[in-house]
Amino acid sequence: MSRDYDEKRDYIRVSVESELYYKTDYDDEEQLGQLQNLSGRGMMFIASHPISRESIIDIRIEPVTKITPSLNAQVRVVRVTKQRHGDGYEIGAVIQKADDELVDMDADVQN
């Protein structure tokens, strides 16, 4: 049985609309972006300015509800595309390193 292209990914991409904060190595201030989707390996978000490919940036996602933990990670930018319908840029990034506290989310449940 053949699978569609999207289903061949190692990690399922989930549509998530949330604010995302990012900081580049060439900018001292955090910038606000809009998370569009997230997977176990990466993410896509909208930024108001382009970010150089291969840049390593710090991201922080603070969910609206306290049920979902926040995500702090370093990501590598692999794709930058001007939005077709909008003024921003679609940033595709691969997660390089996530905050250690978020790796084992089941630890609190077992204690």
11-100 maps to CATH 3.40.50.720: no
pTM of the shown model:
0.76
Decide if 18 contacts 64 (C-beta within 8 A): yes
Read off the pLDDT of residues 60-103 as tens digits, 9 standing for 90 and up.
998 777 787 888 999 999 999 999 998 999 999 999 998 854 44
Q: pLDDT tens, 32-49?
A: 999 999 888 899 999 999
Say which residues have a Cβ less than 8 Å from residue 19's Cβ, sequence separation at least 6. 32, 33, 34, 35, 61, 62
Domain map (residue ranges) of the chain: 11-100
Q: Predicted confidence band at 106 (pLDDT cuts at 50, 70, 90)?
A: very low
Task: Report the alpha-carbon distance of residue 12 to residue 83 in Å, rounded.
Answer: 23
User: In a 3-state reduction of DSSP, which class is residue 41?
Assistant: coil
